[in-house]
A and B are shown apart, each in its own frame.
Chain A
């Protein structure tokens, strides 16, 4: 699918023209073979009309294409779709830096002991079935989100109750600072009572956002339209359609042909090509997601911090970022990327690539080089198994690059590509040695909750294994209560990030950037670094 590099500028227009003309003729011949129906059926029916076209209600929907499939209606499964498309609202919203914002709740108050939270609801809010958003409905919806893996599950909640029609009261058994952050997660989105069957199953998505669901054809397609009864400003884009396309080639060609207005999940090669198209722009944002190497520090080899450091020093992050991710700035210098303010520590020494230093560390730790190439200590070879999974295509490629880089150091690594569920499973049964994964540290807008899961006393499914640091656990617990003053918070955050950098319970490899091809037909497109929203309400068609 690669186009050859364009010839020098003066000739380029000419070759393009003739090639295009030739292709048009070929296509015309092809279309006539199929029969007149082929070319005549609603030519460009899916493409938006040009300037001076019909009024907005006649316009075709804004088309979004992405790799995500709709896995069901339960908010814990595909709830993020209904948040991204602004169909369902959460009690609390989030700014780009993770700071809580009013959403369905206009404000909140915490009791002095931190055990009672009172949320005031937007009095004019209406569900899509026309009913008012009452405190009783919200409380009932939130109680459903207390079942794993919905994110209220780990919160120490005593009760969720309505106080009158406009206030929801959440009582806790102990102070919990991440509550606002958890209430911004899509699994806690508020659905109308009419969404649920008697047994609690979700039958329809009846939310309270500016868009309402028109149709859902799981797993691939969904259409939403502006909800006339929304109590805020009406969105300029009246209809939006989402299509899930499994192949990035398809998504790129949909953007190229003008069928898609926003194309997510593009591969580096397509991005470069699409960037040259006059009708498209590429928008990008760094995500709070890091490609990490989870390792089992319970093993004699990996329990030694010198071995972990040596493995980290042997990784050519700049090379991986440049050659495989096609973006040199994605080489991770520490676990959390610069966008996570407060959690990116500028005072720690960045992770480096230094093979001689790595070899020296391994020798110090007793792993001697042998004639077969694999290092050896007390008769045992330094051989490890690495698991990764296919959901993210770059993981398998980076895994093999790591394998090759460690081989130069004398560490034999065997790569197996399986299912994402095998990583938590391997953590539980202790069989995991190394795993390469992409961890989202802002599942909820505040990373504290994710870090507590990952670096707790027993480690975490996607975090440390066989490693724990009492100071880190205590610091995260204190941050978790949410009571600390800003200076104390900064001190605790610095302690956590510095310890993770020196101890390497997980080894950071690369950061992530989301790149989206956007049609010039659309204006006002902003990307959400927290991936919570497509921000449809701020978009409009170009006049």
Chain B
């Protein structure tokens, strides 16, 4: 069964601080949606609200058209899976057992392990390339390995919708691409709706079917990466000057930052810098920011 997730006029915050204002967003079903934005713009907060970790002070989050808070928690957990940002692993637990916790929503009160559960865990481990770590204690693993184990736990939940908050943390470039590729596999083969927060704009542009840009708690733009990622958008959302070209490998938008140095043209090369700089020139006021 295919499930839909949407946010309707939601206002989100912590204590008295409002982080997201009046946000309406519909997550395209069966697609990969990536949420981008500058630090503290509310993208993680938005994801947490979608995962029902945070209750909106106004508006609501809808799962299949029903407010998510009205649905029983366990039922939601069979539909919606989450990779949390700072998970805790109990001391001494084996990888396979930790991933096995992902089967809780399917197991009811009396914890009967079925072959189906084992199969789900094994597939999750295999997909994240952690099967050979299955019997090792999680606390012995490196940061990258641990991250993949947590992703495996979310995968073992076998949900139709998967929410991931910065899944590429701690991963080196090779593994980052690997994880994003496996999420794409999941989406293409099973039609899983993937929603992820990514801080790397280029990876986000490459892997997203649908890109959502958030600025200061408001929806700035959404659409395909080609539509959304423009030099103006980068300026507005990230406060950065850039050039946007087409990525020669993936044919998606590629953002090239333009800083004060190494910016290509003759008038801003190293020779030009030396020429222009007077010996006693003071540092710019905001250089030490």
* Interaction A to B: no
Interface residues of B (CB under 8 A from A): none
